[in-house]
Each structure stands twice: as structure tokens, then as C-alpha cells.
Amino acid sequence: MSSTDKMDLMSKHRELLNQAVEALSTRAFWTPFPEHPKAYPAEAADTAQAAFGKMLSERFNELQVEASDWIGEEVSPYWQTGLGISYPAPNTDELIARAEAASAWGSVSADERAAILIESLKRVEARYFEIAYATMHTTGQSFLMAFQASGPHANDRALEAIAMGYSELKRFPDSVEWVKPMGKFDLHLHKTFTAIPKGTALVIGCSTFPTWNTVPGMYASLITGNPVIVKPHPKAILPIAIVIAELRNVLRENGHDANIVQLAVDTLKNPITKELAANNAIKLIDYTGGSVFGEYIESLGKTTFTEKSGVNSVILDSAADIHSVAQNIAFATSLYSGQMCTAPQNVFVPAEGIKTDNGMLSFDEVADAIAQAVKGIVEHPKMGAGTLGSIQNDQTIKRIQSGGDFGGERILADLPVVNPEFEHARTCAPTLIKTDEANRDAYGNEFFGPIVFVVKTASRERSVELAAELAMVKGAITCSAYCTDPDFQKRIVSKMNRAFTPVSMNFSGAAFVNQHAAFSDLHVTGGNPAGNASFTNPEYVNKRFVWIGNRFMN
């Protein structure tokens, strides 16, 4: 493309980039991507379902990649039938060689990289509805969640990573004349400062949030000049494949090698992730998924950014209105059937019960209020199916349904979920276990999916201790707390923060602990075993390149 086109693209997105950089510092609410489907053209919604339908049982050709192998094994959790879509599957050597051949990306200016990457987000925006259907039928999310999480919210996080990377790349001047007074004369040196990309990056996706958890690392590596290979979960490829296709289009149109970003695919039976991750050419790895594999990734001695599993707690000390609290907890644990990394698993309640505006409530009354609220959501004819979505894979259900009594009392189990739209949907309503703090073998482990432990503790102090200990030992991404005593609020915040876990205090109504907003909320802190990185602090981009200062004498 001509240099005029290049300048046009940069000036087109200049204001948005500046706003994004500014938003990172102020951390007030900001987004250029409205989250409501209604904010987007009706025709996009209309054509998307048809477009998605046409993709089924076909080769995904949009990447424009030659390959002898085409594979794919995605299954819709709503239909419980295969999507039949296959993707080009270059082998590891091909992927690495193509990425290395695309390393000239590292010499492209930060301004041009930012403009190209933002342009790709605009293209993605035009396909939100398709991506929503793709997400729905791979992850089991409801349509609305799929739209928001994989569309505008993912684009927010991508733009956030671009903005953070851009501002860090601009932190030092390109060059400076350095003049040191030496007494009788001045010493003059011309100095340059260059951000050298670390090298080819691998981004490993998860099955539940195939774009939201993938685009931050992908765009963070790209803005800092590293070619990227994305290896999604074999059961959730399509959503990110569409994003990558759009990105490759923009790269190509702007005269760059499309292989600056590549899709790698594999199957559950023949996984290639370890082979890719261990390859010497891979210098950066972003990973979202289980802890065991995450620890393997961290052990490779490379620059890694992980989000693993954790055990999130609710600390319930006191509340004005138990029903508002129970409703909020019920929704937070029921949303997408507890398959969010931010969903609470354990609700710690003191044995003596909790203070409310209507007097003390016993432990059993609290547990019952939560159970009733969950039941209310599950059985709600309008809200139920949409809130719960469906279950991404069979294992999640098996773990809970065949898990016995978990050493406690099941106060909610086997509630039927009615989904009139998808009669074959794989669903599972939340199981509620009432138990005691001694039963740590159960609640002390992560059970991904729709299960909640209401845990009786010796005291409110003990609740905080247990939540903090679990965060340090098992990891935690969120902690929700309900407390009307300002001093004890401070104790909770201080204790949990020292376990590198953020606190969401007294959330009710439309505020849910699960939701982390880009440009304001840091997602994962990087300080406890739930992960070693954070969307998006400065480290998240700084670690992807190396500052080099050269000096020249005339």
C-alpha cells in the first residue's frame, strides 16, 4: 500500500487510540464498543445467522492458508451435534517457519501497528453477530453473553492491550542528543531507543471464552511486534478463527505478511500444544486453562502469561437485605452455569449467622435464602435458560453429578432446566452443598461449573482467613464480600489484597462480581496461583519486548 494510505489509516484511528491510552490512566468507564446487540445495525443480526449456517459442514476458507490437512471436531452444546467445520492445519514446523518469515513486523512503527490492529477490531465489530453464534455453539454460552463476551467486551480488551502496548512503546524517545559537560568540553552522543520484540508468540485458548481470553495476549504480542500463532481449544475454534481471518485481511490489504498471525488447530486425540510451546522458536506464551497444564507452561523458562484455575470466595458477614444479597450471589454463580473463571464457588458464613437490618439470620437461613434464589433463577421461565446457558462439555457435568455428596448436605441438586429453544441442550442447574469449614478436602478444590458450597465457619474472622488462605494456595480471581461494618470491610480488603485478590464489596442489583470491565478492572492480579499475568497492567506488554539503547559518536 502507498504511504498515503498508511497515513490515512493512522489518522483514521488516531483519536480512538489516544482516547484508549487516556482511559487506561483514568480508569473511568469507557468503551467505543457498545455492549448491546441493539446498538448495531439490524441487518447485521439478520444475515449473521444465515452466514453461520453456511459455515457448518464446510471448510473454513477465510484464512487463505494452503494445507494438506483440514481438521475440526467442534460440537454445539445446544444441539449436541458436530458443527462439521474444518480448518487448515499446517504442522508445527510450517507454522514456526511462517511466523519467523514474518518477523519484519517487528520493524513496523508502533503507530502503523496500532492503526492496523485497530482497523482489525473494526472489521471484527462488523461480524459480532456471526462470532456470537460461533461462540454460542462452541462454548454453550447464551446468545447475549456470547455476543457481549466475544464481541464488544473482547474488542474492549483487545483495544486495551493495544493501547497499553502503544503507550509503553512510546515511553522512551526514538532518539536523543545527550550532552555531558566535561569541564573543558562537552561530550556529545546521539542515542537511539528501540523496542526489540522478543520473538514468535504462542497464544493458547480455552474452551469457554475463545475470543475474550485470547485476544488480549494476541494483540499484546502483535502491538509489540511479535508474530503470533494462536492455538485455540479444539472444541472452540470458530470464534477466534473469524477474528484471525479479519486480522489477516487487514494485514494483507496493508502490504504485510498475513502470517504475522496464524491459526494452529489440533484435536483432543492428537494435541500439538506441547510441541508448539516447547519449540525453541517460541519466546512468548499466553495461556488460559487448567492449572496443571498452566504450571507446565510456566516451567518452560519462557516469558509466560497464564490464567489458570482458582477458588473464588464470597465472604458473607452482614447485609442490609438478605434477599438482595442472595439474589446477587445466585445470579453470579448461575450465570453460564458457573463456567466463568470469576464465578464464586464458596460462600463463607459464620456459624453464628449474619447481621441484617431485620435482625440476625442463622447459617441455615442464609443457606436457604441462597438456595431459594438459585431455584428462582433456574425455574424462571424467561430468565432461566438464558442465564444458565449450556454446559461446554460432558466432563463438567460428570464431575459434579458423580461427585457424591462432597462430604456435606446437598440442599439443591438435579433441578431440571427447561430450554424451549434448544431441546437437546446440555444443561445442568447449580448444585448447592451445605457444609462445614473442616470439609476443606471438598470446597478447597476447584470444581469448575455449577456447584456452590455454603461453608459454615467459626467466625467472620475465620471466613476471611479461609478465603485468603485458599487464594494463596489454590489461587483466586475474585472475592465478593458483604459487610456493613466499615472497620471489618477494611480488614477484608486488606487481608484479601495481601493474598493478591481484589474485593467486590456489597454488590447488588446490576453489579456482579463475575464482570471485569476493560480499561478499569484488572482481570487476574498475577500475584496468586490463579495466574501470573493481569489484563492489562504495564507488565503485560513490557515483558514482550526488550528496550535497547544504542549510542553513536559523530
Residue from 198, 231, 434, 474 touching a copy of itself (CB under 8 A): that is: 198
Of these, 189, 281, 383, 397, which contacts a copy of itself (CB under 8 A)? 189
Piece of the chain touching a copy of itself by CB under 8 A; list 81-89, 165-173, 304-312, 458-466? 165-173
* Residue 95: strand, helix, or coil: helix
Buried b / exposed e across 251-274, counting CB within 10 Å, b at 16+?
beebebbbbbbbbbbbeeeeebbe
Among 176, 278, 438, 473, binds a copy of itself (CB under 8 A): 176
For 179, residues 6+ apart whose C-beta sits below 8 A from its C-beta are 186, 187, 188
> Which stretches of 129-281 are assigned E, i.e. beta strand?
175-181, 186-197, 200-204, 228-231, 261-263
Question: Does residue 380 interact with a copy of itself by CB under 8 A?
Answer: no
Using the contact rule CB under 8 A, the part of the chain among 76-84, 89-97, 121-129, 495-503 near a copy of itself is 495-503
Is the Cβ of residue 295 or residue 409 nearer to a copy of itself in the bound state? 295
The neighbouring-strand residues paired with 404 are none
Grid coordinates belonging to 94: 510450517
Q: Fill in the per-residue mask, 75 to 94: x = in contact with a copy of itself (CB under 8 A), - = not in contact.
A: --------------------
The residue within the footprint of a copy of itself, chosen from 111, 130, 168, 446 (CB under 8 A), is: 168
Nearer to a copy of itself, 324 or 439 (CB): 324
Q: Could you write out the DSSP letters of every residue in 289-330?
A: S-HHHHHHHHTTSSEEEEE-----EEEE-EES-HHHHHHHHH
Q: How far apart are CA 319 and CA 360, in angstroms?
A: 10
Q: How many residues lie near a copy of itself (CB under 8 A)?
A: 63
Q: What is the smallest separation between the CB atom of 182 and a copy of itself, expressed in angstroms?
A: 6
Residue 141 one-letter amino acid: Q
For residues 166 and 110, is the Cβ–Cβ distance under 8 A? yes
Binding region for a copy of itself (CB under 8 A) out of 152-160, 266-274, 462-470, 499-507: 499-507
Whose Cβ is closer to a copy of itself: residue 172's or residue 296's?
A: 172
Where does residue 322 rank: exposed (0-12), middle (13-18), buried (19+ CB within 10 A)? buried
Query: Taking a C-beta distance cutoff of 8 angstroms, is the pair 174, 158 a contact?
Result: no
Q: Rule CB under 8 A: is residue 397 a binding residue for a copy of itself?
A: no
The contact mask relative to a copy of itself for 119-158 (x = CB under 8 A, - = no) is ----------------------------------------
Q: Is the peptide bond before 536 cis (omega within 30 degrees of 0)?
A: yes
**β 346-350/545-552 pair status:** unpaired
Q: How far apart are CA 510 and CA 505, in angstroms?
A: 13
Region binding a copy of itself by CB under 8 A among candidate stretches 225-233, 340-348, 354-362, 490-498: 490-498
Secondary structure (3-state) at 70: strand
Strands 451-457 and 346-350: parallel
Is 498 near a copy of itself (CB under 8 A)?
yes
Closest C-alpha among 381, 371, 439 to residue 405:
439
Instruction: Classify residue 423 by its DSSP letter.
Output: T
Q: Which of 3, 29, 269, 402 binds a copy of itself (CB under 8 A)?
A: 29
Q: 431 with 451: CB under 8 angstroms?
A: yes
Asked if 274 interacts with a copy of itself (CB under 8 A), we say no
Which of 220, 369, 467, 493: binder of a copy of itself (CB under 8 A)?
493
- The verdict on 28 binding a copy of itself (CB under 8 A) reads yes
Determine, following the binding rule CB under 8 A, whether residue 104 of this chain makes contact with a copy of itself: no
Q: Which of 104, 187, 300, 351 binds a copy of itself (CB under 8 A)?
A: 187
What phi and psi, each to the nearest 5 degrees, are found at residue 522?
-80, 130
Q: Which of residues 438-477 bind a copy of itself (CB under 8 A)?
A: none
Q: Of these, 500, 514, 530, 531, which contacts a copy of itself (CB under 8 A)?
A: 500
d(CA 195, CA 220): 14
Question: Nearest distance from residue 75's CB to a copy of itself, in Å?
Answer: 35
Interaction residues for a copy of itself, span 509-548 (CB under 8 A): 509-511, 517, 520-522, 525-527, 534, 537-539, 542-543, 546-548
Residue numbers at the binding site for a copy of itself (CB under 8 A): 25-29, 36, 168, 171-173, 176-183, 185, 187, 189, 191, 193-194, 196, 198, 493, 497-498, 500-511, 517, 520-522, 525-527, 534, 537-539, 542-543, 546-554
